[in-house]
Each structure stands twice: as structure tokens, then as C-alpha cells.
Structure 1
Amino acid sequence: MSKYLSSKALHHVNSVETASPKELQQQLKLFSEKTGFVSSDVFDLRSIRLLVSRLHDILRDNDSQSNIISRFDEITKLVFAKIISDKTYNSGASTPFSPSELSVNPCVVRKYYQHLSHQHSNLIPKRFSELDCSDSAIMKCVLALQSFNFTSTQFDVKGLAYEEIVRNTFGKGDHQQFFTPPHIIDFIVSACQPYIKGDICDPASGTGGFLCSITRHQINYSSLTSIEIDERLSWVSGINMLLHGAKNIRTVFLPSGGTLGNQAKQFFSCFDAIITNPPFGSDFTESDVLETFELGLGKSSRRRGILFIERCHALLRKKGTLAIILDEGVLNLPHATDVRQFIIKNFDLKAVISLPETAFMPYATVNASILIMSKKTCAENSNLSVFFAKADKVGRKTSGDEDIRYDEDGKNYLNSDLPSILNAWHKYLQEGQVDESENIYTADIYSNFDKERNGYRIDFQYHHPSRIKSQQLIATCIYPLKRLADICAERNVSISPCKELSSAIIRYTGLANIESNTGQFEQVPTPSDSLKSSVKMYQPSDIVFAKMRPNLRKVALMSFAEPGFVSSECSVFAVNKASDGTYLIDPLILSVLLRSDFVYGQIMHLVAGIGRLRINSKELLQVMIPLPPKDVQEEIRRQYLSQHQKIENLKSDIGSFLDRSQLMLTSSVQELVCSFIGSPKTSSTRMSELVGNQMKFASY
């Protein structure tokens, strides 16, 4: 059974001067017994977080000149020494970290860590080979650590402990490191499991998350290599792998340019698989090195993530597999056309899995995709079909916290689309086909390249089947087709309310006030001074189209009698009128069409960007709209309104049924009470009459 300390118990560790060593050990034992639990993931993780937090507080309170990074270094050293100590102690030997009635000797602890550093000199650089914290901090930290046994738990608490230390220290570093969320790491490793073999590398390893996940998944491999530009992270990744039980590990610190520098050439054609999340948010500007890259030739700078694609290709052996996270712009924007050409020429693309913008929050709001591909052995495209998937949820809130849900049995799970995508991917690998849905499909992207000039786009939106369906509908349409620009005029009247309408109350409709798919919206009285950004004016019968994330289908006919203002993230369209003064197309019908699959299929491939995806008004105005005769339009409108009325009636009926069920529930409780105490059932009889009247009313 594991031993745990409550927050009160750990708090007492900080008052070491007030008790003798023997008394303190007895006190710690008593607290451990009182707060002990049967080993489980929940309790161990809670205890780990408590322990890490306490170690941090001890170092902060006893070493006033320390900062969060230096405290991280010392916690890493102490936890590493403690975990090695527990293994030694279980085999019968004693160490300074072993439970003892003797007082903690900081000098002995320092020598013990130096000894371990010498033993693991291939992983621990000289600058991290000694304990730098004060004697007082060492005494209190060791006493806190003595209460925790890292070898008595039923799961990999060692790795969890270190991941918790890392999680609370690192976020985004000087080299634009984003530390990939654990569930995304595990998803990628699980997806790549059929391809992971031989010598594995992460050339932008950070804290070693991908390589540790390979160990946790118990995948057979020959060696694990982490390459880092940051010496501290190189050390961290090595310790992390060691504590996860990894074998045949190697950490490589390359200070001059990291993996992108010339020192990395010694590792060309050395790896069978690479899994990585490169620092795609910063530029590489070393001109002499850029000239050695096909994708950097003649350029003064290039995004690191782009150069990593070419460098990973060089590091791989023939037929080696690359799994890499790239920002969406690399897959769809014009500036990266040469990058996509390089990918198509040098890799067999196997899968593209789009991640939501929340995936890396709170450190970044960026749309990214996971690419899985293998290094080509010849120029021909051997893999014609590519697996595409889109995750709307990845188990992560915008705060960076896990997005937890609970099933009917009370068991928690991550609110994520990744498990279903993983199942579909494995089915595709086994059977060569998928059950297509809006978020999962396969496509022959190479045929699309041949048919149209598309800049070699390889993003999820561009190759979606909805595009083909819309094109087929357009091809078979029996009515004249007009561009939206020929049917509508864009109303582009922008103002800054806080400046031009100071101290006024205006009718405002923000993006949050427009429902997805339904066309429902609100016109909210809003103080003009609260709106710092510009807004657009709309008139009654105008159509508002949200350009940001158009997949949400936020399109509404502004049916209020008074004009108002809408977010600048929207386009405002006024339907043109014919010579007889009637609309060319009924505004209601057009608003419904603009939030349909028919229109979205025409524009989804035009939605691009690396942050919040948008479509611009110029491209939106090129959408093709059928223009039936006026009598046909009138019949379509009549049928739509008839269906819409049925929907409203159904909603009303549902509300009535819910009210009746609540009355029946109240009545049944009242009847039970009256029966139980033997009282007359006057109240319950009255309740039954009310229910009966309600039922009669609903039937009319």
C-alpha cells in the first residue's frame, strides 16, 4: 500500500526545526497512516500533485533568490535521486532518502546525488550534476520525499511525478516550444504504433513526451534519441525517459541551431521513425544554414516548422515514417505551396488529422494538423488514398485544463473525438476503407492535383466530399445559376461605436448572439462605449453571414423592424430588387441556402488560416445560387414555412409534455405523503384534476 500525506501533514514538514528527527518521523508516520489509501490512479495523482507543490513551496521559502526554473532544476534532481533510492532501498540497501529515525544530513544527500550524476553522466550534464539548493531546503525536501514510496504503486507513478513537475514549470519557451498535451501525444503514438520500430527519434523533443509515451505503450524499438537546442530540455528529456523505464536512450544537445544546424548532419539516414511537434511559430534566420535547405534557398528567413519537414526527411532512412504536427497554414496557404510540393515529391502521405484551435490553449490559439507519412523510395505516388479526419474536441478546455465528462456509472472520460478517430484509422489500416462521416473520409488527393490548380493543398477542408457533392448539384441544376455578387450587394458601413456613438445604447448582434444552423439571433441593447472594435450596420431584411468559422453556419435574416449593428466578423448582404420592385430571390430562402451544405461545400476549401479560420467576402460573393422563377420561389417559401411551423408546434408539444410530467411527479409525491400518514387525499385529488385539465388542454 502506498503512503500519502495530507496537505496538513506536508505543511508540518516545513517546521522541521521545532521537532527532533525521531519525533518528526513518528509524526510523519502517523499522518501517513491517517491519510493512506489503497493505491489507485486518482489518489496517486492527487498525492503527486500535493508532493510537487510542497517541494516547490519549500524551495521558494528557503531559497529566496531562486526562481521557478531553478526550483524546477532542484526538484528534478531530488525526485530523480529519490526514485533511484527507492529501487535501491527495496533491494535491501539504505540511502539518504530511505525512511530513518536519524536526522537528514544535507552533505550526505549532496554526495549521493553527485554519485548518481556520475553514474548517469551520459544523461546529466555537468551543470546539473550537483544540488544547488540550501541545506535547509534539502533537509525539508528529503523529509517530504521520505513519506512517498515510488515503487509501491500499481502504475507508473515515477513518470507521472516527473510529468507533473514539467507541467507546472514549462509552457512556451524562448524557442517557441509548445509542450504537447499528453492525450494528443498518446493519440499520435497509438496511431503510429504499426510504424514504430527500430531507431526512433524526436528531433525537437522538449521534455521527451513522445519518446516516453512509446515506452508507456510498451512498443518494441531498438533505441530512443532526443535532440534538443536547449541543454536544460535535453537533460529533462533524458531524465524523463529514464524514469519511464526506457532502454537504449540517447540525448543529444545541439546548441548551434539545434536539429536545423549543421551539427545534425551526423544523424542523416539514422532513424526508422520520427515523431515530433516542432517549434512552428518562429523564424530561422541563419543565412548560411538556410542555403543548405531546399526550402530555405534564397530566403532571408523561413519558419522553423517548415524547415523541420525537410530536416526530418534527411534524418529518416528509406521508407521511414514521420508523424509531425504542423500549423494549418502550411497545408493550405499560398506562401507554403513549395512546402506542399516538397511533401508530395518526397513523402507518401498517409493521414491528415485536423486539430481544433483549443488544442494548445492557453499557450496558443492555432489550428494545426497531424501528418503521418513515409519517406519515398521513388518518385511515383504509391499511396493514392489518404485518410482525413477532423477533431472538434480533444479533451482540453481553453484554460488548458482537461475537459472531463462522466458516464452513467460515474466513470470519468475525456471529452474528445480522438478515440473515435483512432478506431477509424485502425480500421482503415486493416480494411482499406472507412465509414465516411462529416469529420472522417478518405480521398485520392493526387487526382485532385491533376484536375485543378489548387496549390497542392493537403488540408482537411479542401478534399472534403462535400465539395464534390456541391459540384454535382451545380452541374445538375435545372434553373439559372447566379453568383451571390449578382444577387446581393454587400452593405459595408462600418463605425466605431465608442467614438462615433458615444454614450448611446445601440441594437447589437454579436457572433455569440447568432445560433449555429438555425438562423435564430438576438438584437441586444448594448452601451456603445462597451464596443471598442468597429461594427457593421444592417437594415431590416438584410442577411448576416459570419465569416469566422463558417462551418458553424451562423447565417441570419435580420427580421427586426429597426436597423442595428453586427460584429465586424460578419458580412452584411442586401438582396437586389428587380425592375418591378420585388426581390430577385426571397431573402428568407437565400438565408436558408447560405447556411446549407450546398453552399458550405462550395466555400469550405476556401477557408484558410492558422488561427481562427475565416473566409473573405470576395470569395463568398462567388458562391453560385440557383434562381428559380418567382412562382417556384413562392411555393418553396410556402413549403419551408409550413415545415417550420410544424417544427414550432412540435417544440410546443414537447414543452407541454414536460409540464405534464412535472405535474404528475408532484402529484405522485403528494399522494405518497397523504397515503403514508393516512390523511385525506384532497390535495392529491386536486393535483390529479390539474393534470387532467392540462392533458385536455394539450389535446385541443
Structure 2
Amino acid sequence: MNTDIKRHIDAARQVLVGVVPNPTSQIDQITNALIYKFMDDMDQAAMRAGGDASFFVGDLERYAWTRLMDPRMGNQERMNLYGEALLKFSESKQLPELFRDIFKSAILPYRSPEVLGLFLKEVAYFDYSHPEDLGDAYEYLLSIMSSQGDAGQFRTPRHIIDFVVDVVNPSKDDRVLDPACGTGGFLVSSYKHILEKHDGPSEAERRRDGKNPDGTSNSEKSLTPSDRQVLMKNFEGYDIDPGMVRIAQVNMYLHQFRNPRIYQYDTLSMDERWNEKYDVILANPPFMSPKGGVKTHSKFSIQSSRSEVLFVDYIMNHLRPRGRAGIIVPEGIIFQSGSAHRQLRKNLVEDGLYAVVSLPSGVFAPYAGVKTSILFLDNELAKQKQEILFVKVENDGYDLGATKRPISKNDLPGALEILKAYQALSEVEMSDGVVSLAVPRSRIAEIGDYNLSGDRYQVAIDYSNAKYPMVGFDEVVSTITPPVKIPKEHFNPKGNFPIIDQSQNDIAGWTNDESALVKSEKPVVIFGDHTCAVKYSEKSFAQGADGIKILLTDDRLIPKFFYYILKTKPVESEGYQRHFAKLKRYKIPLPPLEIQQQIIAELDGYQSIISGAQQVVESWKPRIEIDPEWEKAKLGDMLDRVGEQVDPQKITGEIYYIGLENIESGSGRIVGEPTTNYEQIKSLKNVFQPGDLLYGKLRPNLNKVWLAHRNGICSTDIVVFRVKQDAIANFYWYLLLSDDFVSDVMTGIKGAQLPRVGYEHLKEIILPLPPLAIQQQIVDRIEAERALVEGNRRLIEIYEEKVKQTIARLWEE
């Protein structure tokens, strides 16, 4: 999407905001005006080609956009004409039914001629000769509202749509579906793809007597009128959002589909169209599931409440015997361990899947940083192939920042070449450095989780006994000086460009100052001079003014390989002082580039497992759905406050001491080493015993709650509760960790220097008191979830150790 579209949409919104403050209403006003403008553009194009107008004729002629925008017309007259036009459009029998339906609910909700005049000037920028602008504008408006991200819907960049379509290669006889069509991008791209296949030899080919560049004959045949008639009936799209359906219908109409088959239809919950089958299905379905999961029916082959699982299952079930599909999926589909995800991958491996293309994580920026892959299915090809092809796209031709600037690195053409060779049953070779790997289906099935991450199956070169030259830092690394350093007070919470400093945060803030960007043709490694923090960046960023070094490697050292070395064998910190001089004394092992690449692939595989497990660990919270029928009581009636204290200075020996720093927020795990000596503790402390609940009463530690399993003492900033007989301690542990309880506590916070909650407020908070049997059921469920989370935590430890071992082998003789 070009920046002019964003600029004119933003300007239109700014004009409207004073008279149409509701963002949803702003979307309606802008899209209605765009459709109005495009109707007139189509008439003008038809007349320039020697034809007749079809929209603004007869009674509607006076409402044509070109007349509406006549500079001799005053704004009051223009507003009157515009308001009349909206009403006439909804009633006029000469307009196609599609446009009558669109304008049925169209109104002008304000009466400011000046505002309308300014608004229509911004809309006048858009032109029917670029019909995709309508979909781009609509999706940009949704992104501003964040309604796409909330539903897990993210605008699919056009170059990714075109890549998927080129791989799947729909033909003029194929019946094509997008079951989550949004604004119709996949359908329009497929239509254009088919037209290009039948537009005859190009000018260059005609000069070569109709020959292709490789000397073969160009056998393209133009579409007959009968072909075009069938083609118009072969494209269908579903979407649950009526706004999306409306834009998709107009988008298709602008591409010559006079009766577009775009339906408002809940693909996952409705079954009226279940028996429909298609030759080609293309989709970027929503990634997020509604609260409580998707409500669906029993016709799916996998019973799940996850929308991403159900959409892939739906597509598999609706392909004809020789059907093909291209599906963009989140990384959870690739490796998540849930039973539904695992069963889906098993079904894919055994039936239809022939290739997985991994996309870079910034493809959907600025809407989301979600990591995605593309699944390619071909029921016929999969029967002939005993392997699944994995292709890794590291660069898609654009930087991974919010502005999506074109860059020279683009793996998509090479990836397409590899996939085409695989489809033709030819030997797959590396193309333009794109990493690909064909893995036997039997190997993928071996472990039983059917993991679809290509890095997992890379066969690493045995470098454990190799000797690699050790080179000095200055031999292979140089530094980049930033154009400007941004002071911390100028860090913004939002913006177009990330700011990187030497903190442990990947992104410290945001800026809109393009002149501050550090730009590099290759990725860079970032070193915190004072903190020794190490970061890796593949996109442009601004430097925070607090002492980072931007490191650029030469052609003998791959940046990511250098990053893994520094991250795994870091410079030892000597406190808050400069460490770059110490880093410059660093000796770096320098294997051949091929081996560096193999090591990166191995470590990326480990890191993807670590990242997936970290996502589970960091996002899990114990949750209790409160039944309004349960009895309720005050906290003070269910939990006794324990007031026993001890003076550590009067006792000797070791003691189990819990401070707020020892309780992990949100999970209630113990971190650090709580065992200490009494003489190290200087003041009175609270006493606790097994089964007591320890609750942190200082903000921001209100979600620090621990259920004691042994005797000990704790900080007086921690309240000790003892559960009464008619309650289960674990149940109230999880309840006190909940966001709802924290919200109740926040209403009683007092104190400016050290905000805290007092017992007098805590004891009055109303808590649910379900029967003991239900308390136990809830505890059992949460404990089962916690066990899975702990398994993921252990997985992180195992694979972090594998990373260390892999790097350590580089130093072995």
C-alpha cells in the first residue's frame, strides 16, 4: 500500500473527526464516497473508449461525480446534491442491485458544507484505474481501528497474495474459493493470473516469432466469450463481516464481475454450503479465536474450538480430488503441541500437503509481528511425492518495518522457482540462495508430533572435531555511526520506526523521525556498551542515546552467526561501565560460510522451539470462570490473616525467607534462592506455614501470590493468609492471582511513595464461595494446565542448553 493512500485517508479522517467522531461511521463515509467516485470513473473510462455511461445516466446524470466536483459549484449546493444522490442511489432501478444495496443505509450524518467540500477533495485523489486502492483503503481504515488485529485478521500484502497465486496456478476451468475473503485480494489476483495466462505472446515474444525466452513455443490462447462467461461464475468468497463483503463485492465488480459471488457467511459455524467443493482454495484466514472458542458443528474431521485449526480442516475437506490450495497460517499450526494441532498436521502430512514456505516475521507489519508460513496442498502431486518440501524465505523484497520500503533482497522469485521445479517432479536445487529441503513424510511422522518446521529437519554438518581459525574482532567487524541519537525523553509509545537502546528490551520506544534511521543492506548486531546486552536487527531502526555499538560484519562472517556467538558466550559485565574495549579483544571462530549457515539453521530450529515454549509460559495465567449462582462472601470471612512475627536477630542458623523478589508475577512460582541465614535479616518478619497464602500488598506486586509448601518467614510487605476449613487453599491461590481480584485490590491502593493496599480494604473484597467439589474440579483443571506449562519451561531449559553446547563446540580442538 503506498504512502499516498495512507496520507489521503488520514486527511479524510481528520476532516471528518469533528462531525463524525465514531471511527466506524468514518469508515462508512469514506468507503461510500470512494464507491461513488469509482462509479463515475467507470462511466468516464467507458466513454473515453467510445462506449456509453452505465451509472450516471437518465435521472442520475446530474449526480455524476464530475458534476458534483465542478469548481463553480458552492459547498452548500454540493452538499445538497451529495445528500440527494445517496438517497437516489438506493432507489434507482437503473443501478445494479449490488450498488442499490450498498447505498440503502448510506446517509450524510452532518450538515457542514465546508467539511463535505474538504472531505470530497481528499476522496478525489483515488482513481478507478487502480481498483485495488478501494480494498487497501478499507483495510487501512480497519488497521487504524485495530479491529483487524483483535480478530487475528491482518491485511495480506499484495506481493504475498501474488506469490501464493503463482504457486497454486489457478486455471480458467478451476472453481476458486476464498473462505475468509476479506476485501477479495486472493480472488482478484487469481482472476488477473488467469487473464495473463491467456493474453497471447508478449511484444518481445512476438519479435521472437511467438517463442518464449527458452525457445519453446508460446501456446497461450485468448479467452473466448464462453470462457469469460464461465470464469465469472467460478470465483466465490465468504466473509463473516458485512463491511468486508460489501468492499469485496465492489472490488470484484471493478474487475468486471457484474454479479460477484461474495457472500456474508460464517464459514466455521454455518453448514448451508458444506457440500460445495472447489478446485482451488486460497486463504489467509483469521488467526484468533473468540473468547470461549468457535461454536461450530460436527461435520469437521477435527473437533476443535480454534479458528486456525478449523479453517485448515475446512479447506482440506472442500477440495475436489485433484484440488489445490495455498493457506497462510500462524506458527502455532506448524509446531504447537495441542492434540487438535497435532492431528491436523498428521492429516496434512498424510493427505495433500506437499510444501511449507516459512515467511519472515515482519511480513504483516505494521499490523502485527505474527510469524507465518504458507501451506501448499495438491491432492494429485502429494500422491506422487513421498517428501514434503520446506522452503525458507528470509527476505520478501521489503524491509520488515512499519513503512515497508522496497529492498534489493527478495527470496520470493527463487522460492517460486524451487516450488515450480518440485511441482514438475524435477530435481530441486538452491535458487538465489533460498534454503530448501525435501523431507520424507516418514521422517516427519517418526516422533509423532508431525512438526512442520523445516529447520528441525536440517542435517547439520559434523563440525564437532573441526579446527576453525580464530580471528580478531577488528578483522571481521566494523561499527556503524548513527545519523542521530534520540534522547530518552523523545521515545514515543507508538510510531513508524523502532528505537533500540542498550536495555534488555528488544524495542525501547518508537519514533516518526525518518532522518534518525540506521540503514544497512545487511542485518546488524547491536551491543550495549554498559549493559553487554546483545540484539540482532534485520530492519532499519533509530538509536537511543545511551551507548550502543552497531556492529557490521564483513562477507566472511554471517551476522546471525556472530549474534548467536555473542549471545551465547557474552562479554562478562563488570558493572555499569563501558565494555566495548573488552569486546574488541574478543576472538571469533570463523568456520566456512556453509558451516556457519548450517549452524544458524540448527540454532534457529532450537530457537523456534524455545520461542514457542516461551509463548506458552509467558501467556499462561490461571483463569477461573465465575458462576453467578455461586455463593459469595467477604475475603475476611474465608481467609484468616496470620499475625505471627519473629525477630531474626534473636535466632541463628538457616531459614527459608521469601521477599517480593522471590515470587514470580502472575504464576506464583518461587524464583531465586530463598534460603539464607537469620543474621542476614535485620528486622521483624512474618511467619508462615505449609498451606498459607502469601500475598504481595505493594503495587506493582499485587499479582505476586504464593501457596506455601513449607515453613518459613517473609517480608512484612507480604500479607499471610490462612484458608478456613470450608475452602481449598489452591482454589483461592489461583483466585488471588486473577486479573479480576487485582482490579478489586487497586480500588483500595493508598500512598504516593510506596503505593500499597491495607488489610482493611482486602478483607472487604467479595469472593466467590463455590461448593468444595467444584473448587476441587477447578483446581484439578488448572493444575493440569500448570503441568503443561512447566513442561514447556523445562523444554526451554533443554534447548537453551543445546544452543550453548552447539556454540561451545566451535572452540573445541
TM range (shorter): 0.5 to 0.7
The 5 A counterparts of 1:371-410 are 371-375=375-379, 381-405=383-407
User: 1:618 and 1:511, CA in 2 relative to 1: closer, same or farther beyond 3 A?
Assistant: farther
The residue number in structure 1 matching 2:344 is: 339
The residue number in structure 1 matching 2:267 is: 259
Report the Cα distance in structure 1 between the residues aligned to 2:360 and 2:399, rounded to whole angstroms.
Answer: 11
Q: Is the 8 A contact 1:81 1:116 kept in 2?
A: no
The 5 A counterparts of 1:529-548 are none
Q: Is the 8 A contact 2:90 2:99 kept in 1?
A: no
Report the Cα distance in structure 2 between the residues aligned to 1:562 and 1:610, rounded to whole angstroms.
Answer: 25
The alpha-carbon deviation at position 290 of structure 1 amounts to 5.5
Which of these residues, 796, 801, 807, is aligned with residue 616 of structure 1? Answer: 796
Please state whether the residue corresponding to 1:72 is helix, strand or coil.
Answer: helix
The alpha-carbon deviation at position 277 of structure 1 amounts to 0.8
Report the Cα distance in structure 2 between the residues aligned to 1:83 and 1:388, rounded to whole angstroms.
Answer: 43
The alpha-carbon deviation at position 180 of structure 1 amounts to 1.4
The residue number in structure 2 matching 1:243 is: 254
The residue number in structure 2 matching 1:69 is: 24
Please state whether the residue corresponding to 2:410 is helix, strand or coil.
Answer: coil
Identify which range, 326-335 or 605-614, moves more after superposition.
605-614
The 5 A counterparts of 1:155-194 are 156-170=129-143, 171-173=146-148, 174-194=150-170
User: 1:165 and 1:278, CA in 2 relative to 1: closer, same or farther beyond 3 A?
Assistant: closer
The 5 A counterparts of 1:54-133 are 54-61=11-18, 64-89=19-44, 90=47, 91=52, 93=57, 94-96=61-63, 97-99=65-67, 100=70, 101=72, 103-104=77-78, 105-115=81-91, 119-122=95-98, 125=101, 129-133=105-109
Matched, 1:436 2:430: yes
The alpha-carbon deviation at position 439 of structure 1 amounts to 3.6
The residue number in structure 1 matching 2:318 is: 315
User: 1:201 and 1:404, CA in 2 relative to 1: closer, same or farther beyond 3 A?
Assistant: same
The 5 A counterparts of 1:557-596 are 563=574, 596=596
Report the Cα distance in structure 1 between the residues aligned to 2:796 and 2:20, rounded to whole angstroms.
Answer: 52
The residue number in structure 2 matching 1:277 is: 284
Report the Cα distance in structure 1 between the residues aligned to 2:572 and 2:126, rounded to whole angstroms.
Answer: 71
Matched, 1:463 2:460: no
Report the Cα distance in structure 1 between the residues aligned to 2:159 and 2:342, rounded to whole angstroms.
Answer: 31
Report the Cα distance in structure 2 between the residues aligned to 1:117 and 1:75, rounded to whole angstroms.
Answer: 24
Report the Cα distance in structure 2 between the residues aligned to 1:511 and 1:107, rounded to whole angstroms.
Answer: 52
Matched, 1:350 2:323: no
Q: Is the 8 A contact 1:329 1:610 kept in 2?
A: no
Which of these residues, 225, 231, 247, is aligned with residue 236 of structure 2? Answer: 225
AA at the equivalent of 1:368? T
Aligned residues: 490
Q: Is the 8 A contact 1:394 1:415 kept in 2?
A: yes
Q: What are the ranges of 5 or more consecutive residues in structure 2 without an aligned counterpart?
A: 196-227, 468-501, 508-521, 534-559, 578-585, 615-794
AA at the equivalent of 1:616? I
User: 1:267 and 1:558, CA in 2 relative to 1: closer, same or farther beyond 3 A?
Assistant: closer
The alpha-carbon deviation at position 54 of structure 1 amounts to 4.6
The residue number in structure 1 matching 2:373 is: 369
Q: Is the 8 A contact 2:11 2:122 kept in 1?
A: no
The alpha-carbon deviation at position 208 of structure 1 amounts to 1.8
The residue number in structure 1 matching 2:110 is: 134
Q: Is the 8 A contact 1:607 1:613 kept in 2?
A: no
Q: Is the 8 A contact 1:276 1:325 kept in 2?
A: yes
Q: Is the 8 A contact 1:445 1:458 kept in 2?
A: no
Which of these residues, 323, 327, 332, is aligned with residue 329 of structure 1? Answer: 332
Q: Is the 8 A contact 1:360 1:366 kept in 2?
A: yes
AA at the equivalent of 2:388? V
The alpha-carbon deviation at position 565 of structure 1 amounts to 9.5
- Two-structure CA RMSD over aligned residues (Å): 4.8
- The Cα offsets for residues 79-102 of structure 1, whole Å up to 9 and x where unpaired, read as 212221233353365341233455
The residue number in structure 1 matching 2:740 is: none
Length-normalised TM-score, structure 1: 0.59
Please state whether the residue corresponding to 1:326 is helix, strand or coil.
Answer: strand
The alpha-carbon deviation at position 303 of structure 1 amounts to 1.9
AA at the equivalent of 2:386? L
The alpha-carbon deviation at position 76 of structure 1 amounts to 1.4
Q: Is the 8 A contact 1:172 1:363 kept in 2?
A: no
Report the Cα distance in structure 1 between the residues aligned to 2:570 and 2:351, rounded to whole angstroms.
Answer: 54
Q: Is the 8 A contact 1:226 1:250 kept in 2?
A: yes
- The Cα offsets for residues 547-606 of structure 1, whole Å up to 9 and x where unpaired, read as xx889533468696875699xxxxxxxxxxxxxxxxxxxx9799989x955655655544
The alpha-carbon deviation at position 203 of structure 1 amounts to 0.8
User: 1:162 and 1:589, CA in 2 relative to 1: closer, same or farther beyond 3 A?
Assistant: closer
The 5 A counterparts of 1:648-687 are none
Q: Is the 8 A contact 1:523 1:564 kept in 2?
A: no
User: 1:70 and 1:523, CA in 2 relative to 1: closer, same or farther beyond 3 A?
Assistant: closer
Length-normalised TM-score, structure 2: 0.51
The alpha-carbon deviation at position 355 of structure 1 amounts to 1.0
User: 1:424 and 1:130, CA in 2 relative to 1: closer, same or farther beyond 3 A?
Assistant: same
The alpha-carbon deviation at position 51 of structure 1 amounts to 4.9
Q: Is the 8 A contact 1:82 1:145 kept in 2?
A: no
Please state whether the residue corresponding to 1:82 is helix, strand or coil.
Answer: helix
User: 1:129 and 1:84, CA in 2 relative to 1: closer, same or farther beyond 3 A?
Assistant: same
Which of these residues, 530, 534, 551, is aligned with residue 525 of structure 1? Answer: 530
- The Cα offsets for residues 455-509 of structure 1, whole Å up to 9 and x where unpaired, read as 2122221233xx2544xx77xx799xxxxxxxxxxxxxxxxxxxxxxxxxxxx89
Structure with greater proportional helix content: 1
The residue number in structure 2 matching 1:289 is: 296
The residue number in structure 1 matching 2:762 is: none
User: 1:227 and 1:133, CA in 2 relative to 1: closer, same or farther beyond 3 A?
Assistant: same
Overall identity of the aligned pairs, in %: 20
The alpha-carbon deviation at position 227 of structure 1 amounts to 0.8
The alpha-carbon deviation at position 340 of structure 1 amounts to 0.6
Q: Is the 8 A contact 1:77 1:131 kept in 2?
A: no
User: 1:350 and 1:449, CA in 2 relative to 1: closer, same or farther beyond 3 A?
Assistant: closer
AA at the equivalent of 2:106? E
